[in-house]
Amino acid sequence: MVTAAQPRPYALSVRHLGPNWYATVMGTAVVATAGSALAPHVPGLRDVLTAVWALSLALLVTLLGARAVHWSRHRDQARSHLLDPAAAPFYGCLAMALLAVGGGALTVGRDWIGLRAAVALDAVLFTAGTVVGLAAAVVVPYLMAVRHRVEPGQATPVWLLPLVAPMVSAAVGPLLVPHLPPGQARETLLLGCFALFGLSLLATLVMLPLVFARSLTGGPLPLALTPTLFLVLGPLGQSTTAVGAFADVAPGVVPTPYSEGFTALAVLYGVPVLGFALLWFCLATAHVVRARRHGMRFSMTWWSFTFPVGTCVTGAEALARHTGLVVYAGPAVLLYAVLVAAWGTAVVGTVRGLLRGELLAAPRPAPVAPRPVTARTTSGAVR
C-alpha cells in the first residue's frame, strides 16, 4: 500500500509576507546609524556598524524582491493588505526602510563602498523613499476614511506609521546637502526637508491624541499589539533628530538669521519633545511588562522596540552636540544599549519563527462561536 507523502512542517512562501516586514530593515539600519556617533574612537566598532548596515542593505534588497513576487503572484493577498486597516499603515515602513538604508550609506556605508557610491545610493533611496512616504501619507489616511471605516476606539500607534515617513525624509535629507552645488540646490533641499518636517509633525499632532485617548479610555491593547506603543517614540525622536540635522548644515546654506534660527530650534524644540519621549518610554515599558506577565509571545510587532528607540538615540545625540551637555550624551548611550538588546532579541525571535514556519504561515481564523440554542433551531432539529 502506497502512503501519501507527509507534508513538510512548513514551506517558505511569500503569500503572507506583509509590508510590516520592512521593519526588520529599519531596525537593523538604525543600529548602525545610531551607533556611529556614540563612540567613534572605539577600535573595531566602526567596522561592526558598517557590517550591520550592509546587513540592512541585504535585507532591503531581499524584501524588495520578495514583495515584488508577492504582488505578481498573490495580487489578491496584496490588495487585501492594502484594504486591511491593520495592515495598510505598514506601507509607511517601505518608505522608512529605503530612507534608513540610504542615510546609513552616507553615515557608515561609505567606509566600504566609497563616498561617491554612497552619495549615489543615498540619492536614489532618498528620492524613492520620499516619494513612497508622501504617497503613503496621503493614500493610507484616505483609505482609512473611505474604505476601512475605522472608529476612534480602534486607534493604535500603527496609525502613525505612514505619517512618520516624511519625518524620516526630513531627518536624513540634510546628509545630502553638502554634496549638492552651493546656492539654490542646497537651500532648496534644506527647506524642502523642513517642509517635510512640518507636514509630518502637524499630521502626527492630529493623530497622536486619538492614540493617547485610546490608551487611556479603551483599556490595554491586545497582547500582540502592546509593543506598538513604542511606535509613538518614532515621530518624537525622529523630529528631534531632524531639527538637529537642520542646524548642522544650515550655516552657509541659508542666510544668517535663518541659520541661527535653526540652531535655536534644535534646542528649543528638541528638549521638551525628548522629555515627552522619556515619559512615553516609561509608560510603554510599563504596558509591555504587564503584557509579558499576561503571556505576550514574540511576534513581528517586537520590531517596534528597535527603530523608534533608535530615533531617540539619534535625537539625544543631536541635543548633546548642540548643547554640549553630558545629561544628553549619557541617556544616548543607555538608550543605545536598549536598542542593541532589543534588536538582538527581535533577530533571534524572527529567525526562530521563520525556521518554525510560524511567521509566514496563514493567519489562524478566528474561532466561531457556537450558535445559541433557540426554540426555532430545536424545532428544526426535531423535524
Q: Are 99 and 169 in contact (CB under 8 A)?
A: yes
What span, in angstroms and rounded, lies between the C-alpha atoms of 342 and 281?
14
Residue 107 forms part of a structural domain: yes
The DSSP string of 342-367 is: HHHHHHHHHHHHHHHT-TTSPPPPPP
* Domain total of the chain: 1
What span, in angstroms and rounded, lies between the C-alpha atoms of 36 and 260?
26
Residue 3 forms part of a structural domain: no
DSSP tag of 178: G
DSSP tag of 82: H
Residue 14 forms part of a structural domain: no
Digit-coded pLDDT (tens) for 45-57:
889 999 999 999 9
| pLDDT given for residue 15 in this prediction | 82
SS3 195: helix
Residue 6 forms part of a structural domain: no
Residue 347 forms part of a structural domain: yes
Digit-coded pLDDT (tens) for 274-319:
999 999 999 999 999 999 999 999 999 999 999 999 999 999 999 9
Domain ranges, residue 278: 19-184+195-360
Residue 378 forms part of a structural domain: no
E strand or H helix that includes residue 179? none
What span, in angstroms and rounded, lies between the C-alpha atoms of 56 and 74?
25
CB under 8 Å, gap of 24 or more: what pairs does 325-331 form? 328/274, 331/278
Higher per-residue confidence, 77 vs 262: 262
What span, in angstroms and rounded, lies between the C-alpha atoms of 319 and 282?
20
What span, in angstroms and rounded, lies between the C-alpha atoms of 236 and 315?
8
Residue 4 forms part of a structural domain: no
Digit-coded pLDDT (tens) for 312-364:
999 999 999 999 999 999 999 999 999 999 999 999 999 999 988 888 877 66
C-alpha cell at 176: 545630502
Q: Are 40 and 319 in contact (CB under 8 A)?
A: no
Q: Are 247 and 299 in contact (CB under 8 A)?
A: no
Mean pLDDT over 270-275 rounds to 96
pLDDT-based confidence at residue 237 (cuts at 50, 70, 90): very high
Output the domain CATH number for residue 203: 1.50.10.150
173 contacts: CB under 8 Å, gap ≥ 6: 126, 130, 189, 190, 192, 193, 196, 245
What span, in angstroms and rounded, lies between the C-alpha atoms of 169 and 174?
9
Q: What is the mean pLDDT of the chain?
A: 89
SS3 9: coil
Mean pLDDT over 63-79 rounds to 88
367 contacts: CB under 8 Å, gap ≥ 6: none
Q: Are 234 and 160 in contact (CB under 8 A)?
A: yes
Residue 8 forms part of a structural domain: no
Residue in 44, 38, 50 with CA at minimum distance from that of residue 314? 38
